[in-house]
Amino acid sequence: MLKHVLFDNDGTIVDSEIIAVRATLSLLRNYGFRMGEEEYSRRFPGLLERDILAIIHREYGIQVADDYFEQLRALHITGFKRDLRAIAGMPAIFKNLKTPKSMVSNGSVGHVERCLRRVRLRHALDGQIFSAEQVERPKPHPDVFEYALEKLQLHPSETLVVEDSPTGVTAAKKAGLRVVGFLGAAHIFDGHEAHLLDCGADHIAADAKALGGLLEKYGAL
């Protein structure tokens, strides 16, 4: 029996990943780094900014200023205030879900809070916000999902995860969870479905309508 749904935040509820991608690429251009949005999204889906920067430094030799992350945060804030939207169809699902729901994100608790408030969905969250900042290792490690299960006192068989990235799907599967791979965000490109299936996604939902139909079958809508 399904007792709880665990949603990722960025690229699943809010269409924020594309904003972050554009902010990062804009800033990195100042250091001579060039990469298209599609290639970047394919290379670094769901990873922490510090890990992405470490890979770029290692592979491309890019050196950034000491205040790089302060600059990036400022660009994120500006972009989110201007452009952040909920993914089409997701507010209705989030508000109407009969099963309790929580958020499980690599982003900070504060970030998830701000996103949900920005798209007017914070009041609809009847569960908790779990963040990689609360555990030792972020996704793709299972720590944050295992932490959520412990706090919610749930067995993996009683939960369903909705994730948009290979990183998130991998983490959830390592925790023994059933996962829906979600393709409804703006940063998703051709071939992403195959990546999510390769990581073990149990279902694929092309958009909110498909996700809604799946949740109905689980008795959650």
pLDDT by residue for the chain (221 residues), tens only, comes to 899 999 999 999 999 888 888 999 999 999 999 999 888 988 887 777 889 999 999 999 999 999 999 999 899 889 988 999 999 999 999 999 999 999 999 999 999 999 999 999 999 999 999 999 999 999 999 999 999 999 999 999 999 999 999 999 999 999 999 999 999 997 888 889 999 999 999 999 999 999 999 999 999 99
Query: What was the pLDDT predicted at 205?
Result: 98
**Sequence-ordered list of residues with C-beta below 8 angstroms from that of 135, at least 6 positions apart, any chain:** 143, 144, 146, 147
CATH assignment of 17-83? 1.10.150.240
Q: What is the pLDDT at residue 142?
A: 98
4-15+85-217 CATH, one of 3.40.50.300, 3.40.50.1220, 3.40.50.1000, 3.30.420.40? 3.40.50.1000
Rounded-to-integer distance, Cα 124 and Cα 120, Å: 8
Structure tokens at 93: 């699902």
pTM for this model (two decimals) = 0.86
> Per the structure block, which two tokens stand in for 68?
């790089």
Predicted local distance difference test score (pLDDT) of residue 76: 87
Give the model's pLDDT for residue 42. 81
Q: Check if the beta carbon of residue 171 is closer than 8 Å to that of residue 202.
A: no
pLDDT for 191: 86
Q: Kindly report, as residue ranges, where domains of CATH 3.40.50.1000 are found in the chain.
A: 4-15+85-217
Q: For all residues of the chain together, what is the average pLDDT?
A: 94
191: three-class secondary structure by DSSP: coil
